[in-house]
Amino acid sequence: MTAYVAEPVYLNGQFLPLAAAGVSPLDRGFLYGDGVYEVIPVYSRQPFRIDEHLARLQATLAGIRLANPLTVDAWKSVIFRLIADAPWDDQSIYLQVTRGADDKRDHAFPPASVTPTAFAFAGPLVTPSAAVRAAGVAAITVADQRWARCDLKVISLLANVLARQQAVEQGCAEALLIRDGFMKEGAASNIFVVKDGRLLAPPKTQLMLPGITYDVIVDLAQVHGQPLEIREIAETELRAADEVWMTSSTKEVLAITTLDGAPVGNGKPGPLGERMWQWYQDFKNTVMRKG
């Protein structure tokens, strides 16, 4: 096992040491990025929103016209076995399905005899530390150069990779993707904006990943009577925001306090973001850590 990958890992029906989990170099995930993935957070050895994550996996598979190689129950038994065998209480489960390995290279789908490759492993869940949350993080804006089906959680992530790398090279934690004058999301997170006490979130279109955390935040806003508008957010509104947050399964709710070198609001994490983080923890503790 490495510091990031527990053993055994799951590959095509077997639980194996990482070094024994081999995939053909002709796998279409390797040749074409032809596959899908999920990241599921686990708290106190309980997967968070597992049904929603498996439903999104199914929706993405349908979107790329690939049959799910496992039933929901079969995925759950894989996930629970990985969780049980991993050394950490809080984990991040990674699932990936590709269109498998043919005996040649051809863009069109392989024959039905080629079976998908299914891979899964458990890693440690590392959420932002209290110090990082207290300071917030810096972000940049970049042009959204992704394809037109960003609602699918596919492994072809080159535009996201380049955007995130640009952020990292500028000492930032995230890149916010701007398309046609509107902010869609982050390279690997959804983005919320606060203005004059109202929470704004971009709508779920084909140009944004429908985040599982996004849904939790929207539910929590509604439960707690927090004014919420789901609508497109112009780049100009992003720059005039009182608060900007990134949300994801691994970052939870994290304030962005600097954008392209300028302070967001007063440059400190705002009160609404702190409240939402607390609502998120309370919700998690109620549903996950019942004991």
Any idea which residues carry the catalytic annotation?
153
Q: How far is the CB of 266 from ligand PDD (least distance, A)?
A: 27
In the bound state with ligand PDD, the residue whose beta carbon lies nearer, of 138 and 216, is 216
Residue 176's beta-bridge partner residues?
A: 141, 186
Tell me: does residue 98 bind ligand PDD (CB under 6 A).
no
Piece in contact with ligand PDD (CB under 6 A), picked from 22-30, 211-219, 220-228, 266-274: 211-219
Tell me: does residue 252 bind ligand PDD (CB under 6 A).
no
Site map 18..57 versus ligand PDD, x via CB under 6 A: ---------------------x------------------
Stretch 127-166 residues interacting with ligand PDD (CB under 6 A): 160
Select the residue interacting with ligand PDD from 190, 226, 257, 258 (CB under 6 A).
190
Tell me: does residue 8 bind ligand PDD (CB under 6 A).
no
Q: How far is the CB of 125 from ligand PDD (least distance, A)?
A: 11
Piece in contact with ligand PDD (CB under 6 A), picked from 9-17, 95-103, 205-213, 220-228: 205-213
Q: What is the rounded distance in angstroms from the CA atom of residue 162 to the CA atom of residue 187?
A: 9
- Tokens linked to 287: 């549903």
Select the residue interacting with ligand PDD from 98, 249, 257, 258 (CB under 6 A).
249
Residue 18 burial (10 A CB sphere; 0-12, 13-18, 19+): middle
Residues lying near ligand PDD in the complex (CB under 6 A) are found at 39, 160, 185, 188-190, 209, 211-214, 247-250
